[in-house]
Amino acid sequence: MNHLSKQRDTGLINIGRFAPSPTGPLHTGSLVAAVGSWLMARQNGGKWLLRIDDLDAARCRKGFEGDILRTLEAFGLLWDGSVSRQSKNIEAYEDAFATLQKTGEIYPCSCSRADIARASSAPHQGEEIPYPGTCRNGLQKPGEARSWRLRTYGRTISFDDVRHGTIRTELETSGDFVVKRADGFFAYQLAVVVDDRLSGVNQVVRGDDLLDSTPRQVLIHQLLDWSLPQYCHLPLVRGANGGKLSKRENTVSLLDGRIKGYESKLLGCSLEFLGIKLNEQIKNAPCPELLSYALSIFRPELLPKNAEISS
């Protein structure tokens, strides 16, 4: 049975999702992403789903899943249906992988990170080094396949983002990317596309830190002949040094008791960060009232091009 046939008929109803990883508690940035995705999904009476991204079991920590769920409930961010988990979707990943393998879109790669670093001379930004295509036409080290990569050579991806407008990317600049890792786990880029397909998600709202991943996911949608969701990437909450917040900074958790009694204030800050102006009468209201008020005035056009929040 092809597990991807489980996709629901979404019609015109927004079906959004929030997909935290239980590798630590939520932080201010993840709260903003949760609130933004909730608003976008609920604005026309849509559904908001919750998925736990627990595919990388080695990084997941006991107790954090429960804390994440209870923290969302404390802010009034209630989801529809049951909580789903990536760890339950392995067979569906295998189905999608087999389809890409059959059509020749993916190939085995024997390169280690050190091999790629030595072979690549292209300039790059961030931690990821562009893959130079070493094994594209055959294993550099026969019999030593470590991972599987998807071909990006000569491909240009274009998609529309609610906040950023049309984005066009030459995928070759980042190189062929991994869809199955050397340790046997399916990679994030493939997994999240399949996860959303299984749940009928047609709206993906998340932080700008994942914007660079979206063209790769769009390509996977296209190669599997699946319709694209609507994308919206939200501004990032920055730390004191201007960098992206880590999970160790500004935690939003019930485990350490730091948010107890401050839920409305934290939620209000998140809403204002997303362009929702709160009057003095509503600022100190309970979280469900704050969310109801925000939903009554929210429009995607209110999302700021740039935003700042005190962390």
What would the pLDDT profile of 90-123 be if each residue is shown by its tens digit?
999 999 999 999 999 999 999 888 888 887 654 5
Q: What are the residue ranges of helices labelled H in 75-138? A: 90-102, 113-119
| The pLDDT value given to residue 311 | 43
Pair 191, 219: CB distance under 8 Å:
no
Tokens 């961010």 belong to residue = 77
The overall pTM is greater than 0.75: yes
Q: Homologous superfamily of 1-311 in CATH? A: HUPs (3.40.50.620)
Which residues, other chains included, contact 203 with Cβ-Cβ below 8 Å and sequence gap of 6+? 14, 15, 16, 17, 37, 40, 41, 46, 229, 230, 232
What would the pLDDT profile of 285-299 be if each residue is shown by its tens digit?
999 999 999 999 999
pLDDT-above-90 percentage for the chain: 66
Pair 23, 231: CB distance under 8 Å:
no
